[in-house]
């Protein structure tokens, strides 16, 4: 499952690394995070996912389609979802229980929920996604601080960190945030659609960039239970 992605991302050696995934609408990069989650579960590690942009049911469904036993993993504590919507509601409620209008979501609360005070064995932290936190009023500086501290936390425990940022070309702040996060990552993955429009055989483009190296560009086709990755111009429609 996702064997092409395994070869491309070298996900066998991501412990202690930081993968920054950027999606350019209308592309959807959920499959990259799903792949990382499945790989970590197969390796016997524990995964914590902050699902803010998409509900935990989305990831449960995707991971189950790719062969992971999500229920068993959750029952065993290997897979933990932090519901971002509930976290946001809790953080924005006043002491009386009413929702307060002002103030952004405190990123320290996100950090505490994701790292978890009692669980020190997590091998993968997934943060989906930073753009949603920005939409809730978090400044880019606070989000970069959150990523920085998550990196430090993961490095000490030899865990991997994966973040997702949705980069809207019309929002300069989001573009700067995505570039800053990708610039600090060990591997930056960008998922975008084709510039020429919709194609039945090619879903979009994958760009992989490691610091100081030339970008590797591939195209991919998202199927029901798999993602095929191939060099540009070598899709089944052409060959």
The footprint of another protein (CB under 8 A) covers 108, 111, 115, 140-141, 144-145, 147-149, 151-153, 155-156, 172, 175-176, 179-180, 183-184, 209, 211-215
Rounded to a whole number, what is the distance in angstroms from the first to the last CA of the chain? 23
The least distance separating another protein from the CB of residue 75, rounded to whole angstroms, comes to 28
CB 140 within 8 Å of CB 134: yes
The least distance separating another protein from the CB of residue 81, rounded to whole angstroms, comes to 22
The least distance separating another protein from the CB of residue 149, rounded to whole angstroms, comes to 5
The least distance separating another protein from the CB of residue 188, rounded to whole angstroms, comes to 8
Which lies closer to another protein via its Cβ, residue 61 or residue 139? 139
Which lies closer to another protein via its Cβ, residue 127 or residue 202? 127
Which is it for strands 187-192 and 204-209: parallel, antiparallel or unpaired? antiparallel
Whose CA is closest to 205, among 187, 231, 237, 170?
231
Neighbours of 201 (CB within 10 A): 12
The least distance separating another protein from the CB of residue 35, rounded to whole angstroms, comes to 23
Which lies closer to another protein via its Cβ, residue 75 or residue 169? 169
**Sheet with 204-209, side-by-side order of all strands:** 79-83, 46-51, 122-128, 160-166, 18-24, 187-192, 204-209, 216-222, 227-230
CB 58 within 8 Å of CB 51: yes
Which lies closer to another protein via its Cβ, residue 64 or residue 215? 215
Neighbours of 234 (CB within 10 A): 11
CA distance 132 to 97: 23
CA distance 16 to 73: 22
The least distance separating another protein from the CB of residue 58, rounded to whole angstroms, comes to 29
CB 81 within 8 Å of CB 56: yes
The least distance separating another protein from the CB of residue 46, rounded to whole angstroms, comes to 18
Which lies closer to another protein via its Cβ, residue 9 or residue 73? 9
Which lies closer to another protein via its Cβ, residue 137 or residue 211? 211
CA distance 173 to 72: 40
Which lies closer to another protein via its Cβ, residue 94 or residue 117? 117
């Amino acid at each position: 499952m996702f064997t092409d992605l395994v070869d491309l991302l070298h996900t066998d050696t991501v412990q202690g690394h930081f993968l920054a995934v950027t999606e350019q609408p209308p592309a959807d990069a959920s499959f990259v995070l799903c792949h990382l989650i499945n790989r970590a579960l197969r390796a016997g590690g524990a995964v914590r996912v902050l699902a803010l942009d998409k509900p935990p049911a989305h990831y449960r469904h995707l991971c189950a389609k790719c062969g992971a036993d999500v229920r068993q993993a959750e029952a065993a504590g290997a897979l933990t979802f932090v519901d971002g919507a509930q976290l946001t509601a809790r953080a924005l409620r006043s002491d009386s229980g009413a929702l307060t209008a002002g103030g952004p979501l405190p990123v320290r609360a996100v950090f505490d929920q994701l790292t978890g005070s009692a669980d020190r064995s997590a091998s993968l932290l997934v943060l989906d996604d930073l753009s949603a936190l920005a939409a809730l009023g978090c400044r880019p500086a606070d989000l970069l601080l959150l990523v920085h501290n998550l990196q430090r936390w993961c490095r000490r425990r030899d865990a991997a960190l994966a973040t997702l940022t949705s980069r809207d070309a019309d929002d300069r702040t989001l573009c700067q945030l995505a570039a800053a996060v990708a610039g600090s990552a060990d591997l930056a993955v960008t998922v975008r659609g084709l510039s020429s429009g919709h194609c039945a055989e090619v879903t979009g483009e994958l760009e992989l960039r490691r610091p100081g190296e030339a970008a590797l560009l591939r195209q991919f086709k998202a199927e029901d239970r798999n993602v095929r990755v191939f060099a540009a111009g070598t899709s089944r429609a052409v060959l």
